[in-house]
Structure 1
C-alpha cells in the first residue's frame, strides 16, 4: 500500500481516542497544526479528559480558552512563551525536568504516551520521512505509543541528522492544510547592538557557541561575522544563526562532538530559514538527550553559553525572561548549558541584557528575590554584559562583584545601587562614588596595540572596580619603581588610599590602564594619567608600567595616547617632575615627537612639553572591549 492510501481526514483519527488518553504532540514550529486545530474544535463525547504532552509549547493551536475547558490538560517541560501565564493560572502542568532526561521518563513510562501526532515531510523514494524542524524526543515517543499519526506538510524542510523515520512507522497519515509555525525576525534595537559589540571580543576564534532567539541574538549574528572557525551546539537554530553560518564564520572544524556540523534540536524562524535548512548538510538535528546533555556539550572545547537575561542583582544572580517571547531560557534549559560550559575546557557563560527595561526600570538591581526564572547559581555566571560594558565575575568577591556590576548599570541607577550596597554591607561604608563625574567618563577609549614579541595590550579608562588589580600592580613594583612614581618610599597601598586613586574625577583627570590577557581575564600592567592644572591649560602627567612589561614601548604608546586625548580637551601641554636617575622616563618623553624642555633642581628634572606646533598622530584605535 502506498503512503497516499494511508491518508485519512483528521476527524477519522479521533475515532481511536478514548477519555483519559495521553497524546504527544511534536514541539514548537513542528506543531501538527491541522490535527491540533481539529482536535480543539471536535465535540465528540470520547474527547474528554485528554492529556496533551508537548516538550515546548508555543500555544499556537492550543489556546488558553481550550485549556480552560475540562476536555484537555496540557503537560509541558518548558515554562516559556505563553505557556508561562497558563501555568500560573493553573491550566497547564509543568514537569520540572532536565530536557536531556525526558527520554528516560518516556522509556521507563513515568510519562505515559498513548498516541503521537507528529509533523513530517512527505516520504522520499525509499519511504523515509524527515521530522523536519523539531526532533526532541519524537522518535522515542513513537516507539512507546499505540497509535502514531503523521501530519504530512510539504512546506516542512527535509532536515538531516537523526530525523528520518520510515513511513511504515505510522498507522495513519493526515495531509496538512496549515503552514508551519513561522516566526518573524525581531526588529533591530540599537541597545542590543551595543551589547553585542561588548560581547564580541569575549568570543574567541574556534569557540563553540549556543544561540537562541530574540533581539540580542539578531545583533550577535551580525557582530560575530568577523570570527573564524566557530562551532555551533545550540538548542535552537534561528535566522540570525543562519546568517552567521552563511557569513563563513562557522566551520565547526574544532568541535569534538559532531565535527564540521552545526547541531540543534529545534529550528524557529522565517520561511527563508526553513528553505535554507532543507537538505542542508551543514546542520544536523539531534534529540534533546544529546543536544541538552551537559557532558556532550562539555566535550566541545571553548564552549560559550550566550544567554539573554531579564535582570541581574549586584551579587551576580540572574533572572531570565518569562512569558511571550521567551523561547529557550527556562532554568532547566539554561542550566544544562551552564553546566556544559563549566565542563568544557576553556568554556564560560555570558549573560547579556540592557541596563534598563523598555519601561525604564533598572535591570541591574540589589536583589532579584521575587522574580521568576531565577538562576541562583552565582558560581556559573562568568560574564554579565550591558550596553555600558562587561562585568567579569570570575574569582571576584561579593564586594568586587557589586562594584563590577554597578559599573555596567545605567548611570542614573548607580548612586542608588551604591547606597543600597553600603546599607547591606556589600560595599565598604566609606566607598567613594563621584556621581557628578560620570558625564565626563571617556567611554570612547577602547584601543589595543601589539607590542614587541607579539604582546597585545588593551587600553581603557580606569574604573573603581580596578582597585584590587591596581593594588596588585603596586605590590609587584620594586622599591625603586615606587620611588620613581610616588617620590616616596611607600610600603603599603590600603583600600582607603587606593580607592581615591581609582575613583577619578573625570572633569580634570584622565587615567588610562593597559590590560594584558584575554578580555575579561586580563591583568592591569600599566597606568598613565594626567591631572589638569587649575588654569586648564597644562596638565601633570605620570606613568607606571609593570616591570615584566617594560622596554616593550607601552609607556611611549600611553604618552602619545594621552597627548591625543589632552589635545581633544583643549589642553596645551604636559609637565612632570622626574628624578635625574629616571633615564627611562626621560627617554619616553623624547621619543614622543614633541619639544621637551627641562630645568634641573636638586636632582629633579622639571619637564615641560608644549604640544604646538608639533603634529602628533597619537595611538591607533582597535577592538571595542570593556575588560
Structure 2
C-alpha cells in the first residue's frame, strides 16, 4: 500500500477538500487519516461520503464541515462532529472564490493522462473547479479506472504539488433495490415527463424508479448535478439523445458521476458527455435557458401548505439544502418545465406529509412544486393555501389522513 509523506504540503489551520462519492481519492484520504497527528489541527470539507474512511474519532485532529450529511458522511453528523454549512449548491463556487470558504489544499482523483499528457478530473467537476483555481496546493491521485472525461479543466504534471498512483480499487457495483413504493412513485413521476424534456434528477431509489419508467420516451436530454446507472441505461437504450435541448444540444451535462463500471465505461472519452463545474450546472442564468426542464428531487417531509424540509429528521441532520432550490425554481420558470419533489408517504410509522414541518424550511411554499407520493400527485402550482390542504392530504398515507387534517385544524393559528 502506498505511503506518502503529506506533512510538507499541509499546515496547521488548513482547509482540505476533495471530490465526493465515486470521486474520492481513497489512497490520499487513507494517508491523511494515518498522518493526522502530524499536521496540527486541520479542517476537512466533505460532501457525500462513499468510502467511509472518515470516522468520528478522527475529530481528534480534524474539524469536519460539509454542505450536507449524505452517504457515509451521515455517521459524522450523527456523532455530532460535522458542522453543517447550509448553502444553496449554486453559491459554493462564489464562497470559495471570495475566500468565505477558504480551500488551502485540494486532493483530486484524476484519470491517467491522454496522449498529450493531459489529466482529466475524471469522475467529478462540481465545486472542485473553483477550488482548483484557488487552492495553495493541489495533490493528485491517478486512478487507472477513472474515466477521461470532457468538460475541462485539464491538468499537466506541473499543476500538481504531488502526484501519486492510486492503490485503492474503485467501489464495486451495488445494484439499486426498488421497493413497490418506489416503483409506484416512479410511475407517477414518469407521467409528468413528456418527449423532449431535459431531466435533472437527484440520487437514490426514487429517481432510478422514475427513470426505469421512461423507456418509451423520445429525445430526452440531461442537465443535472449527478449521472448514475439509471441515466446511463436510458442513454444506452437511445431514450436520451439531447437532440431537443435548448442549450448544449447533443450533450449530456452533469457535475459528477455516481456509479460503477457501467457508468465509467459510458463516460470514458465520450464526447457526448461534459462534466462541468457547479458555476455552470446550477447557475440560474444557465438554467433559465432550458425549456421543458423536469427537476426531480426528494425531501424529508412536506407540510400541507407546500413547505419542504430536505435537511433534518428526528433532530438529526440527514440531507442538505444542496441544489434543490436551484433546480426547482428553474423548472418552475422553464417553458413546459415541472418542479417535482417525490417522497414516500411514510417513514416507519411516521407520516412524511405533515401539518407543520418539524425541522427547517428548506424550500418555501412560494416555490409551488408538484409533490408526489405513492398515493398520487399534488400539483400545487396556482393553488391558494386553502386549496392546497385537501390536495396534500389526498397523497398522504390513508392511515394518517384523518389525524393530519385534525391536527392541522386544531393547531391552526394562521396559514
- Confirm or deny a common fold (TM above 0.5): yes
Alignment of 1:439-458 (within 5 A): none
Matches within 5 A, 1:323-342: 330-342=320-332
1:193, CA displacement in angstroms? 1.0
* 2:30–2:53 Cα contact (<8 Å) kept: yes
Residues 1:79 and 1:231: Cα distance change in structure 2 (over 3 Å): same
Residue 22 of structure 1: which of 15, 22, 33 is its match?
15
Question: Which of 1 and 2 has greater Rg?
Answer: 1
| 1:389 partnered with 2:379 | no
Alignment of 1:356 onto 2:346: yes
| Alignment pair present for 1:53 and 2:62 | no
Change (3 A) 1:170 1:190: same
Q: Does residue 62 of the first structure (1) align with residue 58 of the second (2)? A: no
**Unmatched 5+ stretches in structure 1:** 1-7, 428-627
Match in the other structure for 2:166: 176
1:124 maps to 2:117: no
Deviations 1:420-472, CA, capped at 9 Å, x for gaps: 34435699xxxxxxxxxxxxxxxxxxxxxxxxxxxxxxxxxxxxxxxxxxxxx
Q: Secondary structure at the match of 1:216?
A: helix
Question: Where do residues 185-196 of structure 1 align in structure 2 (5 Å cutoff)?
Answer: 185-196=175-186
- In structure 1, C-alpha distance between the alignment counterparts of 2:318 and 2:332, rounded to whole Å: 19
SS in 2 for 1:351: strand
Structure 1 position 165 matched with structure 2 position 155:
yes
More RCO (CA 8 Å, sep 6+): 2
1-structure distance, mates of 2:384, 2:130: 46
1:31-46 equivalent positions in 2, closer than 5 A? 31-42=24-35, 46=38
Counterpart selection for 1:12 from 5, 9, 14: 5
SS at match of 1:53: strand
In structure 2, the CA distance between the partners of 1:383 and 1:331, relative to structure 1 (3 Å rule), is: same
Q: Is the 8 A contact 2:194 2:217 kept in 1?
A: yes
Residue 9 of structure 1: how far off its partner (Å): 5.6
In 2, the alpha carbon distance for the partners of 1:336 and 1:142 equals 23
- Measured in 1, the distance between the counterparts of 2:8 and 2:253 equals 39
TM-score by length of 1: 0.61
Report deviation, 1:181. Answer: 4.3
Distance 1:171 1:87 in 2: 32
**Contact 1:393/1:401 (CA < 8 Å) preserved in 2?**
yes
Shift of 1:79: 3.6
Deviation at 1:176, TM superposition (A): 0.6
Distance 1:376 1:85 in 2: 25
- Alignment map for 1:285-434 (pairs within 5 Å): 285-320=275-310, 330-357=320-347, 359-368=348-357, 370-372=358-360, 374-424=361-411
Q: How far apart, CA to CA, are the structure 1 residues paired with 2:317 and 2:406?
A: 36
**Alignment correspondent of 1:575:** none
Among residues 73, 79, 102, which one is paired with 1:83 in the alignment? 73
Cα contact 1:80–1:322 (8 A) shared by 2: no
In the TM superposition, what are the counterparts of 1:514-529 in structure 2 within 5 Å?
none
What secondary structure sits across from 2:383 in the alignment? coil
Q: How many residues align?
A: 412
Provide the secondary structure at the position in 1 that maps to 2:53: coil
Q: 1:139 offset after TM fit, Å?
A: 3.5
Deviations 1:189-240 (CA, angstroms, capped at 9, x unpaired)? 1111111111222112111111122111121121111111111111111111
Label 1:296 to 1:14 Cα distance change in 2 as closer, same or farther (>3 A).
Answer: same
Q: C-alpha distance in 1, partners of 2:284/2:262? A: 31
Matched, 1:277 2:264: no
How far apart are the structure 1 equivalents of 2:236 and 2:244? 18
1:200/1:421 Cα in 2 relative to 1: closer, same or farther (>3 Å)? same
By how many angstroms is 1:86 displaced? 2.8
Relative distance call for 1:363 and 1:138 in structure 2 (3 A) is: closer
CA 1:268–1:131: 2 relative to 1, 3 Å: same
Aligned in 2, Cα 1:256/1:10: closer, same or farther, shift over 3 Å? Answer: farther
**Does residue 244 of structure 2 align to residue 251 of structure 1?**
no
> Structure 1's 113 and 318: CA in aligned 2 closer, same or farther, altered over 3 A?
closer
Unaligned runs of 5+ in 2: none
